Structure 1
């Protein structure tokens, strides 16, 4: 986020400021930060999984981050109400076996619902093909070909 956006962040509810802060520094070495933003009874949904409970979320993130060389989030926009928000982001990650080990950039968004200053519901919306399938050597070329043909 640029300097102007950082000043806007201060106008968000505290739970959302905390979420943005945690995701900007999250890594395998500090997954305990999840405890600062998520409630024990959190429901987390992405295109592949639905996870219930903070301990299960820890396990899920541990598995995700363990295989990544790097993963960063850039928050591009936020629409917020007191207890819910839509967060639009760009994720940049590196995985040795995907995209020849080069950085992969994926646009996505998250719907967040908070209760008592903790997130109880987090759902990610993103193009799983762009994030994963298109980065695989053989399948990626096939998916790219299909996209080109579909656009004609």
Structure 2
């Protein structure tokens, strides 16, 4: 599998991911994967599977539109827009979040990712859409000019 094909397969996998598909993480991640985002640091595919199972438990929709892709050797970056619908966020309406993933593909198995780090605004994804906290976060962002 070429480098570009492995990156495209990884992106396609995320648009299949839901609570019933998490057992297929072995297709794109190594056993010892390290996953980091603004809210979590997870080590190992089994722990990542548990995390995704919990994350997707009540999700109505989670789809990614992938934009720029760059891969050089074992390193890759991909920018994306996530469309997330969850009954506890924004009264169930879709929330759009811009982000970027930095990926390291394994040298032993170049089809699989061994390091995955997501960069996104956690406030835009979560805090701004919570019933009590949301208005406060939005006011603070306006005051700070963001």
Please indicate, yes or no, whether the TM-score normalized by the shorter chain is above 0.5.
Answer: yes
Matches within 5 A, 1:26-45: 26-45=17-36
1:72 pairs, out of 46, 63, 68, with 63
Partners of 1:77 and 1:22 in 2: CA distance: 17
For structure 1, which segment, 17-26 or 118-127, has the greater mean C-alpha deviation from structure 2 after superposition? 17-26
CA deviation after TM superposition for structure 1 residue 19, in Å:
0.4
For residues 98-132 of structure 1, give each alpha carbon's deviation from its aligned partner in whole angstroms, at most 9, with x where no partner exists: 10110011000110000122100000000000000
1:14 pairs, out of 1, 5, 17, with 5
Q: TM-score, normalised by structure 2?
A: 0.92
Instruction: Report the equivalent of 1:143.
Output: 137
CA deviation after TM superposition for structure 1 residue 91, in Å:
0.7
For residues 32-72 of structure 1, give each alpha carbon's deviation from its aligned partner in whole angstroms, at most 9, with x where no partner exists: 22110000010000111111111111000000000211111
Instruction: Report the equivalent of 2:37.
Output: 46
Instruction: Report the equivalent of 1:6.
Output: none
Instruction: Report the equivalent of 2:83.
Output: 92
What's the RMSD between the two structures over aligned residues? 1.7
Number of residue pairs matched? 143
Partners of 1:141 and 1:70 in 2: CA distance: 24
Structure 1 unaligned segments of length 5 or more: list them: 1-9
Poorly superposed stretches of 4+, deviation over 2 Å: 10-15
Matches within 5 A, 1:80-119: 80-115=71-106, 116-117=109-110, 118-119=112-113
User: Could you say what secondary structure the match of 2:20 adopts?
Assistant: helix
- Bigger fraction of residues in helix: 1
Instruction: Report the equivalent of 1:3.
Output: none
Partners of 1:56 and 1:141 in 2: CA distance: 33
